[in-house]
Structure formats: C-alpha cells, structure tokens
Amino acid sequence: MTLPNRPRYAARLNAFKRGKEGVAGMIARAGEVGGLSAADLNYPDHFEGTTPAALSRLLADQGLALNGLALRYYTEAGFKLGAFTHPDRTVRRAAIDLTKRGMDALAEMGGSVMTLWMGQDGFDYSFQADYAAMWDDTLAAMAEVCDHNPVLDVSIEYKPNEPRAHAVMPDMATTLLALRDLGRANAGVTLDFCHMLFAGEMPARSAMLAARYSRILGVHLNDGYGKRDDGLIAGTVHPVQTVELFVALEKIGYDGVIYFDTFPDHGGLDPVHEARANVALTEKLRTLAQGLVGHDALAAAMARQDAAASSRIIAGALYGL
C-alpha cells in the first residue's frame, strides 16, 4: 500500500536502543522494521567512536538513506543552562562550533538537513534571564550556522518546554518570527505533531503558516494528549488532525521524509513492532487523506464552515459512515 511519489519513512534511532549498546545495533534493528527507508543520526553521540563513512555503510547495509542529522546539546557537555543562549559566551561559541562540525559531518555523508532542537535554550524562572539578549544570541548563532554551509538546510524544531520550563522557540509563530528576521534561505522549520499539540496548535494550520512564511524541512509524526511530549504511535489519539495534516502537506507539496518521533520505551513496547504500527497506521491515514484532496463536497462544506457536513464526510472516509 505504499503511495507513489510520496514521503519516505524514518524513525528515531534511539527508540531501538538496547541497554548501553552503540549505534550499529540500533541501525540494524531499524532495518528489521521493513517499512523504513531513511534514518536520522544524532550528532555528536551517534558519531562517537566511529566515522561518518562507517555510519554511511551501516545505513546502506540496511537499505536506509540518511535523512539528516539532529544536533544534541547535551547537559553533560556543559549546555545545561543553554546552547545558543548560554550566559557564558564561551559556551555559546562551543555550541555554534559543535553545530558546524555536525554540518560538516552531514555534508560528508551526503545528507541535506540539520535539525536543531535547542532544548536547553530557555528559562525556568521570572527574573532568570534577559529575554532580549537570548533572542539576539539565538539569531546571531543561527545566522552563523546557516552561513557555514548554505548548501545544507538548517531546521528549527520548536517545543513549548522540557527540559526548561519555557523555551526560546516554543511554537510555530515564534519560530517563524525568528526565521523571517534571520532571512536565510537555507533555514526552515520542523513540524513535530506532539509539540504542535501541546503548544495548543492545530497541526494543519501550523503547516499553512510554515509554508507561507518559511519552508517545512521536516515532519515528525507521533501522537499524544496535548499536555506534554507523549510520543505515542502516530494516529492513535488524533487521527482526524493527522489526516488533516496529511491533506495540508499534500497541498503544500511536501515531499520530505516522515519521521516517527515516538517513545516505545515509555510504554515498554517492542520498538520494531511499534515502528511497524507507525508505518501501518500512517500509510492507512495517508491513503484516506489522499481521497480528501480535491474532494468537492468537503471543499464546499469548508467554504461555508459547515462542520456538521464536513465531519460526516470525514467520518465517511475514515469509518465508512
């Protein structure tokens, strides 16, 4: 039931981690899933004790393309108080340089997207930080990083909170405000379904704003209850919002990877089975979404905001109402 000319699937490698094993085992297990055709690697941790070339071989052995890299500013590495917004200039410099090295590794491996989740860049208390300085520092760092290699795309993955109580990049619109100010053609945004939900956003509407004011460089699929980053199997809680997002992505023409950013470890699920459930549900919901693109009666109902009519059409498509 694979759809032609449509996004490929990738999954969070750390979901496949067993105990203290290294990246090779995770890649092998991602290969076992069957429906995945790409993977993201974390920089720097997945590169420890190995080389970009060796990692490329491990991926190729499993038939996996490299989607991109995800920078991780780990607290143990000194980024507890922030990366691009750390109060100490030396640490900010270290964060920028680490990101550049990550981009070099990405280029060496032939990948195209560097995803930045600046999880430590935020604040916990009122009167803890100078908000204006944090904003300036973020923009300056982003500019330097984007200019390091304009051939590569750099994507911001926003998230309302955790680990910090408030993030510098908490939601779609704040991210777009920064991206417009930044003015770099190789910068864009990553949509994470759970992050959108607990930012109080309607995912398809955030996709519209992203496409209008920037570029969608990644889509992280998962699901949850809108209160935190639950990381559940895609489509298990908000199937209608998931389908609406697929319709929006189809209209926008997004053809990048669909990346499953789920946490099978939380619920003690077998990661290979869980990944297969992600693929199966997503394929099904995407196929249903396909039938809603260019659906005249649906468009007519929406043109008059008639949710009684559109909800029946959607229920018809989903449940055969």
Residues between 216 and 275 that touch its own copies (CB under 8 A): 224-228, 230, 232-233, 235-241, 243-244, 264-270, 273-274
Q: Which of the ranges 38-46, 65-73, 97-105, 194-202 carries the binding residues for its own copies, by CB under 8 A?
A: 194-202
**Torsion angle of the four alpha carbons 48, 51, 52, 55, in this order, in degrees rounded to the nearest 10:** -80
Please identify which residue in 96, 129, 189, 196 interacts with its own copies, judged by CB under 8 A.
Answer: 129
205 binds its own copies (CB under 8 A): yes
77 binds its own copies (CB under 8 A): no
Q: Dig out the tokens for 170 from the structure.
A: 């908490």
In the complex, minimum distance from the CB of residue 224 to its own copies, in angstroms, rounded to a whole number: 7
Read off φ and ψ for residue 187, nearest 5 degrees.
-105, 150
Tell me which residue of 79, 76, 73 sits closest to 42, measured CA to CA: 73
Q: Which of the ranges 39-47, 48-56, 94-102, 167-175 carries the binding residues for its own copies, by CB under 8 A?
A: 167-175
Read off φ and ψ for residue 29, nearest 5 degrees.
-70, -35
Residue 166, beta-bridge partner list: 123
- Give the footprint of its own copies on residues 107-126 (CB under 8 A): 123-126
In the complex, minimum distance from the CB of residue 57 to its own copies, in angstroms, rounded to a whole number: 30
Please identify which residue in 204, 216, 219, 258 interacts with its own copies, judged by CB under 8 A.
Answer: 204
Please identify which residue in 13, 176, 191, 258 interacts with its own copies, judged by CB under 8 A.
Answer: 176
93 binds its own copies (CB under 8 A): no
**Torsion angle of the four alpha carbons 257, 12, 285, 274, in this order, in degrees rounded to the nearest 10:** 150
**What's the rounded Cα separation, in Å, for the pair 187 and 185?**
6
Please identify which residue in 162, 255, 291, 297 interacts with its own copies, judged by CB under 8 A.
Answer: 162
Which alpha helices (H) appear in 125-183, and where do they start and end? Answer: 131-148, 172-182
The three-state secondary structure class of 98 is helix
Q: Dig out the tokens for 164 from the structure.
A: 């910090």
Please identify which residue in 137, 171, 250, 261 interacts with its own copies, judged by CB under 8 A.
Answer: 171
The three-state secondary structure class of 124 is coil
Read off φ and ψ for residue 2, nearest 5 degrees.
-65, 135
In the complex, minimum distance from the CB of residue 254 to its own copies, in angstroms, rounded to a whole number: 15
- Give the footprint of its own copies on residues 37-76 (CB under 8 A): 75
305 binds its own copies (CB under 8 A): yes
18 binds its own copies (CB under 8 A): no
Burial class (CB in 10 A: 0-12, 13-18, 19+), 110: exposed
Q: Closer to its own copies by CB, 111 or 170: give it.
A: 170
